[in-house]
Amino acid sequence: MPLTLYVDAAAWHEHLKARVAEDPQLVPVAKGNGYGFTVPLLARTAAGLGVERIAVGSVHDAAAGLPEFPGAVLV
């Protein structure tokens, strides 16, 4: 049975901004297919939040995220 996920992008981004405002040292995690969002999209989203680093699950995820994120990428 297929599953379709619909995301309220504005609400999602507001939630992310609020979490980063609460904890500026927050380290977002992007791994695998990013629950369908993809690691590159999650890396770009994290970059837009102004966080200094992201964590990924593998060297393959790092390779996908590095071009999209200007900060540190932790494996």
Q: What pLDDT does residue 25 have?
A: 95
Q: What pLDDT does residue 4 have?
A: 84
Burial bucket for residue 20 (CB in 10 Å: 0-12, 13-18, 19+): middle
pLDDT in 10s for each residue of the chain, 75 residues: 888 888 899 999 999 999 999 999 999 999 888 778 999 999 999 999 999 999 999 999 999 999 999 999 999
pTM: 0.88
The residues with which 53 forms a beta bridge, in sequence order, are 72
Q: What pLDDT does residue 5 have?
A: 82
Considering Cα of 61, then 62, then 63, then 69, what sign does the dihedral take?
positive
